[in-house]
Amino acid sequence: MGRLEGKVAIITGANSGIGKATAERFALEGADLVLAARRLDKLKEVEAYAVAQGVRALSVATDVSQPEDCRRLVEAAVAAFDRIDILVNNAGIDDKNKSITNCDLELWEKVISTDQNSVYFMMKEVLPHMERADQGSIVNISSIGATRSNAGISYTAAKMAVIGMTKNVAIQYAGTGIRCNAVCPGPTETPIFSPENAAAFDKEFARACARHFDGSVPRTQPEDQANAILFFASDESKAVNGETLVVDYGGTI
């Protein structure tokens, strides 16, 4: 406990799944939180949990695909806490495993704007504040869909871009107090993999992707991803920069 004492963290997509688990873990470790998602009601539940752990928390309704919303989120964080030590770019949507022949332009643009552009927007807004403090940790959530290219075309493209941006920012700030790393979750028990959502996946392409797994490896839990994110966010990883950590029980080895 106390690994994030005195730090302020922005977590996007903090209302469910990996984001919620990360927020709860960060609160237990002493971080003050700025929680972002589109649905404010669910965010308030996470906020209440954080406050009950003795930390401060602020919920901000945010559509991270919109640069103006990202700017307002960062401004709200600075106004409330006067600093930003950690940014977790977790918000994202799936693309129903749509192959390139089944992915229309509307879906492509929606996934790219939410899963890729939002990471650019948020880092661009947060980094000037980290530069002034000469310290900070950014943790971007990518996917094994990036490392293995076995997700839908738009999701794969966006999550590969997240890894590229992570390394690019890490190069820029190497040797300073600012770090940027990525976590690549494997299949995790979140709403994306609920039976209802999975039923809408592109079945033909999903079968092709399934050949990369034999079913012997369990799905991870949101808490497993939160633990990896915590490592990158904490000073325990102060010598780690520009790295990508796959958390999937070894399923993609």
Query: Which sign does the torsion angle of CA 220, 223, 229, 234 carry?
Result: negative
DSSP 15-80: TSHHHHHHHHHHHHTT-EEEEEES-HHHHHHHHHHHHHTT--EEEEE--TTSHHHHHHHHHHHHHH
For 114, the 3-state DSSP assignment is helix
Residue 180, both tokens: 């940027």
Residue 152, both tokens: 């839908």
Q: Are 71 and 125 in contact (CB under 8 A)?
A: yes
> Please, is 249 exposed, middle or buried when counting C-beta atoms within 10 Å of its C-beta (0-12, 13-18, 19+)?
middle
What is the rounded CA–CA span in Å between residue 38 and residue 109? 18
Catalytic residue check, 155? yes
Determine which one of 49, 155, 173, 249 is catalytic: 155
User: What is the 3-class SS of 154-207, one letter each residue?
Assistant: HHHHHHHHHHHHHHHHHHHHCCCCEEEEEEEECCECCHHHCHHHHCCCCHHHHH
Report, as residue numbers or ranges, the catalytic residues: 155
